[in-house]
Amino acid sequence: MDRADVRPLAGRRPAPAPLVVSVLALAAVMALAISVGSVPVPPAALMGGLVDGLRGHVHGTVDVIVWQLRLPRVVLAALVGAALSLAGAAFQGVFRNPLADPYLLGAASGAGFGAAAVLVFAGAVPWLARLGVPVAAFACAMATVAAVTLVARQGSHLPSVSLILSGVVVGSSLTAATSFLMLASRDRAAGILSWLLGSFAYASWGRLLPVAALLLPAALAILAAARALDVMQLGEESAAQLGVPIEAVKLGLLVAATLATAAAVSVAGVIGFVGLVVPHAVRLAFGAPHRRLLPLAAVWGALFMVLADLAARTVVAPAEVPVGVITALVGGPFFLALLRKQRT
Amino acid sequence: MVKRAVFLAVLLLALQVALATGYPLTVTDEVGGTLTLQHAPQRIVSMIPSDTETVCALGACDRLVGVDTLSDWPPGVKALPQLGNANQPDLEALVALKPDLVLTDEYSGLAARVRALGLPVYAGTPQTFDQALTFFGTLGRLLDRDTQASVLKGRVQGQVAAVAARVAALPAAQRHVSVFVELDPTPYSVGPGSYLGTLLDRAGGRSIVPASMGQYPQVDPELVVEKDPQVVLLMDAPYGETVAKAEARPGWSGLRAVEDGRVIALDQQQVDMLSRAGPRMGDAVVLLAKLLHPGRF
């Protein structure tokens, strides 16, 4: 566990500078996102709304729009973006697989099935309606990943290949079940589909706080494992020889990343691409070591998601495009351009 | 204190007896939410097309300040600000309209979101013929339009009763014309228990789909050939399906509906009228009766 072992991977510039710039950029983008909406709000009224909200005196139309509609939405987008990106970086690090993303172990298909079940059966089964979509989605996501992990487990080991394979297989089965639910209840299909494609339209303080309470500890746990992840990139055997408790770190990271993913998915639906692409983009732009990668991935995930949501609610306003469509449409070409630039 | 409370209670009671609708009025909607109106709503937002039609049929069209994107009847409402739909509402614009009553459905969850923003909302929109008749009364009470609600209810019931009487006078063989209603070409259809199924029943027709298959099942194309409907109603015609394409499907050339030229393409207005449990239900039954029994209505 000598620091010198991982030092050569790090760049020469001190780490804080890009992080500070990135945080400032995130703040600017969030300010922009709060100032744009279908109802024009002048800057003074915007500030008034924020101040009134902080004081707890929300009154009047503008206050409601700024404090109860826009701000929770922007904050939630930032939290979810950070969570998905961080979880994606963690999965990519644990499995040392560039194709890994937060949904690798079935969290998305589990959450999707839970949400679809509630949307379809809420009318007939009162307790499902009381449970609500977010709680059901969260529970099903956690249960799916737990099932995948149990299936893949061999004694006290969690072989990466079996984890990935059982994740894919369980995920496909649940996706098929969700598709069937959609076809079997056509009048709910549009609602399910729009949930599956992701949206922050349902943001509210009431939804945001429980998610934040789950996300923050999970994010801190992932950030704390940065050095162990760096060592693990040398290979699991070498890392074990260097004293990293491989299985414990792996399990801890999987639990934290799954918690973060499930919490994000439960309120925002399945938003693809962020968890896959943002960590790679950050790696290409700022370097690979996890001590640098993880905090930057969180900030840029947040920034990318806030921008994507801003696009989602403005390009065809007053209608909305599912934010998952934006992340894939914009994120894909952007990432390919970055990849090509890196090669030349 | 007690005397004063009793006095107030008596006063309130007296007020409610004296007026058609007494305000403040507290009602419970279909998701169990309570709504208290201090006065008759003057700034109404309707997020459901059939609710928009009902508000206007009660003579309160001028109190609407915003509607959902699909609200298009009566034609005047198309000039109002459009606020998306119940699943994807433009909440900012809705709040900015300062509505004193928001009408929405019980499924989308919009009601809870609007209520959380401190706006008065009634959640619940009729899904069946009978629910729609009841809803006329509910909305009439909310809007202080009780008389108009009774008139509307009477008119719709009168239209349906008139059709029923003429159907009863038909020869027995013609009272249950078999109909295949096509919602989309995959094909989705309607069961006898669905809203459209009950309208068909009142118009002297019957869906070929067995009741056991549910309200809006996807059916096996073989079922259509096996049941050999007398009439086919293409509800998907506004979305690109045509009579020619339908008649060219495998096995359809021998259908009674095809041989008799009774595969019928409906236009968007007809489809809307047949899909919305609202004030045009009577017109919808009359329309179906004309389509099923040409020359008799």
Contacting residues of B for A206, CB less than 8 Å apart = 116
Question: For residue B84, which residues of chain A lie inside 8 Å, CB to CB?
Answer: 318-320
Q: Is the pLDDT of residue A3 over 70?
A: no
Domains observed in chain A: 3-343 (1.10.3470.10)
Chain A residues with CB under 8 Å of B82 CB are: 318
Beta strands in chain B (DSSP E): 25-28, 34-37, 44-46, 64-67, 101-104, 121-123, 177-182, 205-207, 231-234, 263-265
What is the separation of C-alpha A122 from the centre of its chain, rounded to a whole number of angstroms?
27
Instruction: Please compute the mean of the pLDDT values over residues B144-166 and round it to a whole number.
Output: 96
Total Cβ atoms within 10 A of residue A180: 11
Query: What's B82-95 look like in SS3?
Result: ECECCCCECHHHHH
> Measured between CB atoms, which of A38, A70, A183 is closest to B218?
A183
pLDDT band at residue A344, thresholds of 50, 70 and 90? Answer: low
A69 touches B at CB < 8 Å: yes
Using an 8 Å Cβ cutoff, are A206 and B116 in contact?
yes
Mean of the per-residue pLDDT values for chain A? 88
| C-alpha span between A76 and A267 (Å, rounded) | 9
Tell if the CB–CB gap between A187 and B108 is shorter than 8 Å: no
Q: Give how far B86 is from chain A: nearest CA, Å.
A: 10
Site from A63, A65, A119 to mutate, B interface, most B CB atoms within 10 angstroms = A65
Distance CA A230, CA A208 (A): 32
* Minimal C-alpha gap between B90 and chain A (Å): 6
pLDDT of residue A33: 96
- The pLDDT > 90 percentage for chain A reads 54
What is the pLDDT confidence band of residue B10, given thresholds at 50, 70 and 90?
A: low
Which regions of B177-250 does DSSP assign to beta strands (E)? 177-182, 205-207, 231-234
**Lowest-pLDDT range of A8-22, A215-229, B171-185, B251-265:** A8-22
User: Whole-model pTM?
Assistant: 0.81
**Using 50, 70 and 90 to split pLDDT, how confident is the model at B135?**
very high
CB proximity list for B1: less than 8 A, separation 6 or greater? none
Q: pLDDT by residue (tens digit) across A67-93?
A: 999 999 999 999 999 999 999 999 999
Q: What does the pLDDT average to over B211-216? A: 91
Question: Which of B84, B96, B109 faces A65 most closely, judged by CB atoms?
Answer: B96
pLDDT of residue A5: 44
pLDDT at B4: 64
pLDDT for position B129 = 95
Contact A317 B90 (CB under 8 A): yes
* Cα gap A160→A246, rounded to integer Å: 12
Question: What does the alpha-carbon distance between residue A149 and residue A159 come to, in Å, rounded to a whole number?
Answer: 10
- Interstrand relation of B44-46 and B34-37 (parallel, antiparallel or unpaired): unpaired
Instruction: Tell me what percent of the residues of chain B surpass a pLDDT of 70.
Output: 93
* Residue (of B12, B64, B17) closest to B41 by Cα position: B64
What pLDDT is stored for residue A144 in this prediction? Answer: 94
Q: Per-residue pLDDT averaged across A3-15, rounded?
A: 47
Comparing alpha-carbon positions, the chain B residue that sits nearest to A195 is B87
Q: Give pLDDT, residue A186.
A: 76
Preceding amide of A8 cis, omega within 30: no
Give me the interface pTM, i.e. the ipTM: 0.75
- Compute the distance between CA of residue A90 and CA of residue A101 in angstroms, rounded to an integer: 9
Q: CA B51 → CA A106, A201, B103, B274, distances in Å?
A: 41, 24, 7, 15
Tell me whether residues A188 and B107 touch, CB distance under 8 A. yes
* CA atoms within 13 A of residue A206's CA, in its CB half-sphere: 8
- Chain B residues near residue A313 by CB distance under 8 angstroms: none
User: Average pLDDT for residues A162-186, to the nearest whole number?
Assistant: 91
Pick from A200-204, A306-310, B137-141: least confident: A200-204
Among the partner residues A39, A191, A194, nearest to B93 by beta-carbon distance = A39
Answer whether A37 touches B (CB < 8 Å).
yes
Report the alpha-carbon distance of residue A189 to residue A316 in Å, rounded: 22
B32: how many CB neighbours lie within 10 A of its CB? 9
CB-hemisphere CA count at 13 Å for A330?
19
Contact (CB, 8 A) for A1 and A242: yes
Average pLDDT, integer, range B224-230: 96
3-class DSSP string for chain A: CCHHHCHHHCCCCCCHHHHHHHHHHHHHHHHHHHHCCCCCCCHHHHHHHHHHHHHCCCCCHHHHHHHHHHHHHHHHHHHHHHHHHHHHHHHHHHHCCCCCCCCCCCHHHHHHHHHHHHHHHCCCCHHHHHHCHHHHHHHHHHHHHHHHHHHHCECCECCHHHHHHHHHHHHHHHHHHHHHHHHHCHHHHHHHHHHHCCCCCCCCHHHHHHHHHHHHHHHHHHHHCHHHHHHHCCCHHHHHHCCCCHHHHHHHHHHHHHHHHHHHHHHHCCCCCHHHHHHHHHHHHHCCCHHHHHHHHHHHHHHHHHHHHHHHHHCCCCCCCCHHHHHHHHHHHHHHHHHHHHHC
> Which residues sit opposite B232 in a β-bridge?
B180, B263
Residue A121 touches chain B, beta carbons under 8 Å: no
The lowest-confidence range among A170-179, B29-38, B222-231, B253-262 is B29-38
| Contact across the interface for B107 and A64, Cβ inside 8 Å | no
